[in-house]
Amino acid sequence: MSTLFTRIIDGEIPGRFVWADDRCVAFATIAPITDGHVLVVPRQEVARFTDADDDLLAHLMRVAKIVGTAQQQAFDAPRAALLVAGFEVPHLHLHVLPAWGEQQLSFDHARHDLPAEQLDAAAERLRAELRAGGHGGNVPAQLGSAAL
C-alpha cells in the first residue's frame, strides 16, 4: 500500500509543491510550525531515515539546504531549521522551516487551522525565492503538481 506522501507525490491527494526533481519533492505541510514550513520527501518509499542509503540522504540534505536558504530570504528568518521525526507517516521526510529560535521548534506549535489562502501564499513566496535563487528548473510549473 502506498504511503500518504506517495499519494501526494502521485497527485492522488493535493499538495503544495515548491521543489521537484527525479529523486525527491518538497511540499508545504498542512500544519506548519512557521509560515514556509515544508517537507522534503524522497519519491522512493523509505520508512525511516536510518533505512535510506547514503546517496539518497546526501541528496535530501542538499535539497533541504537549498530550500532552507530560500526560506531565510523569503521569510526574513535568521535560520532555517531541520527536524527529522517520522512518527506520523512511515515515509522518510525532512521538516525544513524558517526559524527565529529553538523554543518554537516543537510540533506542539503546529497550526492546524490555517486557511488555504495563507498556506498557498507562503508556498508561492518560497517558490518565487527558489526561482530568484536560480533553482527555477526544480520549481514545478504549478503549485499542485510534482511533475518535473
For the annotated catalytic residues, the residue numbers are 93
Is 27 strand, coil or helix? strand
pLDDT at 120: 97
b/e sequence 88-105, b meaning 16+ C-beta within 10 Å: ebebbbbbbbbbeeeeeb
pLDDT at 147: 86
pLDDT at 63: 98
Q: Please give the domain boundaries of the chain with CATH numbers for all domains.
A: 4-134 (3.30.428.10)
86 pLDDT tier (thresholds 50, 70, 90):
confident
Among 55, 121, 53, 109, CA closest to 81: 109
Q: What is the DSSP letter of 107?
A: G
**Mean per-residue pLDDT, 55-72:** 98
37 pLDDT tier (thresholds 50, 70, 90):
very high
130 pLDDT tier (thresholds 50, 70, 90):
very high
Structure-block grid coordinates of residue 120? 498557498
CA distance 71 to 65: 10
Q: What's the whole-number average pLDDT of the chain?
A: 96
State yes or no: pLDDT of 148 exceeds 90.
no
Taking the model in full, what pTM does it have?
0.96
Alpha helices in the chain (DSSP H): 4-9, 54-74, 116-130
Contact 126, 71 (CB under 8 A): yes
pLDDT at 82: 97
